Amino acid sequence: MVTHSAPFIVGTDLGKTFGYGHAAIHALREVNIEIHRGDFTVVVGPSGSGKSTLLNIVGGMDTATAGSLTVGDRHLTALNARELTDYRRTSVGFVFQFYNLVPNLTAVENVALAAALVMPRADATQLAGDLLDQVGLQDRKDQFPRHLSGGEMQRVAIARALAKKPGVLLCDEPSGALDSVTGAHILAQLQRTARDTQTAVVVVTHDQSLAPAADHLIVLGDGRVVEDRRHDNPPLLEEPALT
């Protein structure tokens, strides 16, 4: 993206310490981030550098032990447990390495289940079908997860995450369990999603090769931001044809 209004996610001096005293692990230290809607933001860094911890805090699955965090008009660091649950359920989309689909629901039912959290049942089913069209699964809507490939399951998971029309879509190693071609397709889809839906798409990966395609690249090392830069016209990732 070229123009920028106010950032959607603002983290100031975020810290996260697990444990106490000699056993304390500082997973995040003095992390300052500003993340915008419409941006494909990529967070890279070696294993253990704090990527998942940062994503979990932004997603309300964990809480910071220092600093402040706002997402949209919510001050996450001031929410109580019930408010945080509401935030996770209604306002954040998650995509994980393993797809976590409900095995006894079809693709469209999996997506509709998420949509129904924020809209009437009939609308949810309609939207679920539309989202599966968008991710290229128009012919696979009525399949159960066990009949879908890994790439197809991940596309259902993306559709499900988008069903809440979240301001932020958080993806932790979304291509981690896929072969390289299928993984590339998923990442291209996420890059396009950021632009098309003006969502703040944040992808965590240990795969450095994704870095040039980011609108915004954040590099973590040992719990700190070691690099934070924008790319004005990053190359569009190609969506390879699926066989």
Ligand X SMILES: Nc1ncnc2c1ncn2[C@@H]1O[C@H](COP(=O)(O)OP(=O)(O)O)[C@@H](O)[C@H]1O
Q: Which residues bind ligand X (CB under 6 A)?
A: 18, 25, 27, 45, 47-53
Write the binding mask 141 to 170 for Mg ion: x where contact by CB under 5 A, - elsewhere: ------------------------------
Pairwise CA distance, residues 225 & 62, whole Å: 19
**Residues comprising the chain, all counted:** 243
Choose between 46 and 240: whose C-beta lies nearer to Mg ion: 46
Pairwise CA distance, residues 100 & 238, whole Å: 26
Choose between 16 and 155: whose C-beta lies nearer to ligand X: 16
Among all residues, whose Cβ is closest to Mg ion?
52
Q: CB count, 10 Å around CB of 4?
A: 13
Choose between 88 and 206: whose C-beta lies nearer to ligand X: 206
Check: CB of residue 108 under 8 Å from CB of residue 141.
yes
Counting Cα atoms < 13 Å in the Cβ hemisphere of 11 gives: 25
Select from 49-57, 154-162, 188-196, 229-237 the region that touches Mg ion (CB under 5 A). 49-57
Q: Which of 41, 49, 52, 91 binds Mg ion (CB under 5 A)?
A: 52
Based on the shown chain and the rule CB under 5 A, indicate whether residue 53 belongs to the binding site for Mg ion.
no
User: What's the gap between Cα 49 and its chain centre?
Assistant: 18
214 contact, one of ligand X, Mg ion, none, CB 5-8 Å limit per kind: none
Choose between 17 and 70: whose C-beta lies nearer to Mg ion: 17
Q: What is the nearest approach in angstroms of Mg ion to the Cβ of residue 104?
A: 29
Pairwise CA distance, residues 132 & 51, whole Å: 29
Q: What is the nearest approach in angstroms of ligand X to the Cβ of residue 56?
A: 8
CA dihedral 90, 136, 98, 71 (to 10 degrees): -30
Choose between 54 and 178: whose C-beta lies nearer to ligand X: 54
Q: Is 209 helix (H, G, I), strand (E, B) or coil?
A: helix
Q: What is the nearest approach in angstroms of ligand X to the Cβ of residue 205?
A: 10
User: What's the gap between Cα 167 and its chain centre?
Assistant: 10
Residues that bind Mg ion (CB under 5 A): 52
